[in-house]
Structure 1
Amino acid sequence: MKELSRIVEAYDQIADTSQKAALATVVKVQGSSYRRAGARMLMTDDGRWTGAISGGCLEGDALRKARQAILLNQPSVVTYDTMTDENASRLGVGLGCNGIIDVLIEPIDYLREQMDLMRVFKNFLKDRKRAAIATVFNVEESMQEGIGQRFVTDSQGNALSNITVPLLKDQVHADILPALAKGQPLNKVYAVEKGRVEVSIEILHPSIELIIFGGGYDAAPVVKLGDTLGWQVSVTDDCIAHTGSKRFPGACQVLHAPRENVVEQLSITPYTYTVLMSHNYAYDIAVLPQLLATDVQYIGILGPKKRYLKMLHELEQKGIILSEKDQERIHSPVGLDIGAETPDEIALSIISEIQAVHQRSKGGLLKEKKGFIHERS
């Protein structure tokens, strides 16, 4: 989401100028690649780009293709086949991932004429709710004008479409809603009057919203790392000395609130993750039941296991018995086991665990993982 924000910002800088630009989007990946479908980069005719579609191997060639697309004001799909070193050498790229990557390149002027995709992105960044974008990228020769046509659906099911290929719109609509509900991308081939059409259905997910309870000195590196990843980070404490906004420049909110009803003053969404790290047992035991009463999916608690067991015992005495689901969403001690000692290392451990939970990963060593690094849709 941070990369998408940077692309929108770069677009706004040239929107009212005569500068030309094109948007490149990875629409399909077969085999291995550095980036997955949905990766984007905005390229301007002066040779600059924002975002990335690979680890730096394809960007130069994509820029050359973008200049041609801008000149013709027509979208095109470029296929980078690096399954063999011979193919990679012929393409003039140093990609060693052994994959096939399809990249859709669209001039910005053409995009404006067909669908204001940047406005779609802006609305998504503002609303912070899941959305789906279905993009036509592979058609038979008689339907070349269909490349780049889209069907967009927001979290409420509201649709925007410029699909004109006969029979395609209804078929895409039937598939995009289930994909949006599951939050899973999809590539599918459809049969229409003039042949076959391939469509990439991409799901836009809001970034993580991290709430830190406790504004001590070790909260600062957690805020910094979260902000670096593009997360929306909030800090709250009932100690006025811990809630100076200058202490957490990367936080989107610093809230001074009493512990007894602090959660009422915060917004909890499906993308909210929380960490209790106040170093104050009385504060944490006051906030934890409030979080358990919400649907927040992750509750990290800083401190040793013994401290957490003490909290459980005290909650039981108050008649609060944790369900199996509650036990699954509580992570105490918080963080991955990376041998962290310093506040910066502990912050890395905490942030890494949240990222792993968010992506449904076990957070182990990649060299011990069986199968692909990324799950395949």
Structure 2
Amino acid sequence: MKEFKTILQECTKIDFNLHKAALATVVKVRGSSYRSPGARMLITDDGKWVGSISGGCLEGDALRKARLVMTDGKPLTVTYDTREESNQNLGISLGCNGVIDVLIEPINPEDQNNPTLLFDSIIKMNAPVALATIFVHNDAHEIGKKLLVTPGLTKLHNLQDPELERIISADLKILFESKKSEAKVYTVKGKEIEVFIELIQPSVSLIIFGGGFDARPVSYLAKSLGWEVTVTDECVAHIAPLFFPAADNLSLCQRDFIDRDFNITPYTACVLMSHNYEYDRDVLRKLLKTETPYIGMLGPRKRFDKMLNEFAKENIQLSSNDVHRIHSPIGLDIGAEAPDEIAVSIIAEIQSKFSNRSGGYLKYRTGSIHQRDSASDQVFKQVYLHHHEDKAAQNS
């Protein structure tokens, strides 16, 4: 979602009376690649770009292709074969060992189908949406056409072919459950059509309970990832804007009103770092009733055990899901001691939680770094799993 927001923000700065622009999207990957399907890049005719579709290997050629798209005003799908035996065709030695399809679309601010207008709609909805984009079609006019579906199955963009729309709509509905973004091939009237279907979810929002000095680097790192950051405390002196210049919201909130003042969703991570035992305990009691999939608490394990004993006396029993989403002590084990190091540990753990990854060493990971279908060798992106998923899936 950060890429969506950045591209939209930069697009508003373009003077389309003087410049043209295009959007490049990775829609299909077979083998290895630096970016997964769904990676996007905004390109302007003056040679500038925002976002990325690779580690810098493909951007130069994509710029050249984008200039053709800007001139013709027609979308184009480009295939980059970066396998070692083939990448000399690009004139550079890549060695990524994959085949990457990139859809490049012109951006016309006067066109209602302008993809950046779609970004604006998606961001404002602040809810998961399923998006289908045609990138291979025998009719060139159909390339780039999109179908957007909300969780309530409302269609915000429609395709011209009702049969194709019916078939794709069924897969988009399933996508809200599978959360597996991938390229799919559909056969309609004897012709094959390739479509990239993706689940786009809201940005992670982070609420930091406690405005101490060690919360500042946590806020800064979270914001650098494009997360929405809120810092709250019961002491107004702790949440001065000078201390948290990057935070989106600074809230003076008493612990009794947390459920009233904050909208805590399955996309909200909560970090308790007030250094006040009673405050953290009372906040935790409130958070147990919310949908947050991640609750992290600073402090030793025995501090959390003491809270559990007090909860037991109040007949508050933690479910297996509660135990799974509470992280105490907070953070990944990277030997962190100083506040900046602890912030890295905390943010890395939250990222791994929302990415459904274990947070271990990549060199010990069996199989590919990106998720890949063993039959087709196609890379797919399976985004955030809701907190009710079992722990086995979390570590798979």
Question: Which TM bucket (shorter chain)?
Answer: over 0.9
1:314 Cα deviation (Å)? 1.3
- Greater shift after overlay, 48-57 or 244-253? 244-253
Which among 245, 252, 274 is matched to residue 249 of structure 1?
A: 245
TM-score when normalising by structure 2? 0.91
One-letter amino acid matched to 2:333: D
Q: Distance between the aligned counterparts of 1:89 and 1:230, measured in 2?
A: 36
1:114 Cα deviation (Å)? 6.8
Match of 1:123 in 2: 121
1:162 Cα deviation (Å)? 4.5
Alignment of 1:27-66 (within 5 A): 27-66=27-66
Alignment of 1:1-377 (within 5 A): 1-14=1-14, 16-84=16-84, 86-109=85-108, 113=111, 115-140=113-138, 143-165=139-161, 167-376=163-372, 377=380
1:157 Cα deviation (Å)? 2.0
Return 5+ residue gaps in structure 2 as ranges. Answer: 373-379, 381-396
* Residues 112 and 39 of structure 1, relative CA distance in 2, 3 Å threshold: farther
One-letter amino acid matched to 1:93: I
Higher helix proportion (structure 1 or 2): 1
1:373 Cα deviation (Å)? 0.4
Q: Distance between the aligned counterparts of 2:159 and 2:4, measured in 1?
A: 24
Q: Highest relative contact order (Cα 8 Å, sep 6+), 1 or 2?
A: 2
1:194 Cα deviation (Å)? 4.9
TM-score when normalising by structure 1? 0.95
- Partner deviation per Cα, 1:293-316 (whole Å, 9 max, x = no partner): 112111101001111111111111
Q: Distance between the aligned counterparts of 1:340 and 1:371, measured in 2?
A: 29
Q: Distance between the aligned counterparts of 2:207 and 2:271, measured in 1?
A: 6
- Greater shift after overlay, 254-263 or 284-293? 254-263
One-letter amino acid matched to 2:244: F
Return 5+ residue gaps in structure 1 as ranges. Answer: none
Sequence identity (%): 50
CA contact (8 A) 2:265 2:290 kept: no
SS of match in other structure, 1:14 = coil
* Residues 78 and 322 of structure 1, relative CA distance in 2, 3 Å threshold: same
Alpha carbon RMSD of aligned pairs, Å? 1.6
One-letter amino acid matched to 1:12: T
How many pairs does the alignment contain?
373
- Partner deviation per Cα, 1:65-104 (whole Å, 9 max, x = no partner): 01111122111111001122x4212212343221000001
Q: Distance between the aligned counterparts of 2:144 and 2:162, measured in 1?
A: 15
CA contact (8 A) 2:221 2:344 kept: yes
One-letter amino acid matched to 2:263: S
CA contact (8 A) 2:148 2:158 kept: no
